[in-house]
Amino acid sequence: MGIPSKRTLKKRFFGSWQLLILLLPGLIWYLLFCYRPMIGLRMAFYDYNIFRGFEGSTFVGLDNFRTYVMGPDFARTIKNTLMIALWQMLICFPAPIVLAIIVTEMRSNVLRKVVQTSTFLPYFISTVVVCGMVVNFLSPSTGIINKFIELLGGEATYFMVYPQYFRPIYTLMTLWQTAGFNAVVYIAALMGIDPQLYEAALVDGAGRWQRIWHITLPGIIPTIVTMFIMNIGKIVKVGYESIILLYQPSTYSTADVISTYSFRMGIQNGDYGIATAAGLFEAVIALILVIFANKLSKHLTETALW
C-alpha cells in the first residue's frame, strides 16, 4: 500500500470536522492545564525568586536536585512514597476487580443495584469532606470508632498522631472512596464476555468458582493489565491532597511523601527551586515505573499499552 497523499490526508482531516469540534474542548484544556504549566519546570534549575522572575533569578543548574537528594528528608520521602504506593497496589488495585465480579455474580437485580450505587457514590464526595469524616470518626473524644472501642472495654486512642496507624487509615479511606468508581471499568469488561462460554461451562458441570477462574478472570486480563500500567504512573502521586489534610508533624515518619515535601518547600517555605526539583524527580520515577511495568506486562502477558 502506498503512502496517502497530502491531498487525501487534508480531505480526510476536514471531512471529519464534527469529530474535531468534539475533540477541541478537551485538547484546549489539556494544552492549558497539562502542557502550559511545564514551562515552570525551569524553576528546578534556578534559585527562583517569585518577585524577580526567571530574568532576576540565579541559574544554579543541578544544585536544587543535589540539595534534595543529599538532604535529610530524601530517604524518608522516597521510602514513604513507595510504601504507600505498595499499599495502594496490594489493596486498592485488586479490590475493584473483586467488587466487579461480586456485583456481576449477584442474582438479585435489586441487591446488585444497591451495592453498586452505595460503593459508587463515595467517589463524588469532596476529598476535604472525606478527610474531615475520617478525622471526626477517629476523634479520641467524640469519634464513633473510639466510642465503640470504649464500649468493648478498651481505651480511646488518638489514631491520627501515631505514625504506625497512618498508612492503614489512608489506604482504607482511599479504598472506600475509589473502589466503586474503579469497578465500573471492570464491570463493563465483564459485560463483554461471551455468555455462551458460561453456558458451555455449565453444560460441562463447572461450578461458580471454576467459571470465575477459567472464564471471568481470563476474559478481563487485558483490562486489568491496561489499568495496572495506567495506575503505575499515578500511584507515585499517592493522593497527596488527602495526605496533606490528614498528616501532621508527629506522623511525618510514615506519611511524608515527595509531593507533600514539595508542597512544604514551595508553598510554606517559599523555596520554589527545590520544590520543583523534587516534583520533577517524582515525575521521572513515575515515568520509569510506567516503562518498566509496560515492558514486564508485554513480556509476561503479551498485553501492553505500546
Contact present, 57 and 49 (Cβ < 8 Å): yes
Q: Does the structure show a pLDDT above 70 at 281?
A: yes
Residue among 103, 298, 304, 101 nearest 218 (CA): 101
Confidence of residue 97 (pLDDT cuts 50, 70, 90): very high
3-state secondary structure of 141: coil
Q: What is the pTM of this model?
A: 0.83
C-alpha–C-alpha distance, residues 278 and 272, integer Å: 10
Output the nine-digit C-alpha cell for 25. 474542548
C-alpha–C-alpha distance, residues 84 and 281, integer Å: 17
Q: By percentage, how much of the chain surpasses pLDDT 90?
A: 42
Contact present, 100 and 186 (Cβ < 8 Å): yes
Apex 86 CA angle, 34 and 251, nearest 5: 90
Q: Does the structure show a pLDDT above 90 at 17?
A: no
Confidence of residue 297 (pLDDT cuts 50, 70, 90): confident
Q: Does the structure show a pLDDT above 80 at 109?
A: yes
> Residue 195: exposed, middle, or buried by beta-carbon count in 10 A (0-12, 13-18, 19+)?
exposed
Residue among 188, 174, 167, 169 nearest 231 (CA): 174
Contact present, 39 and 27 (Cβ < 8 Å): no
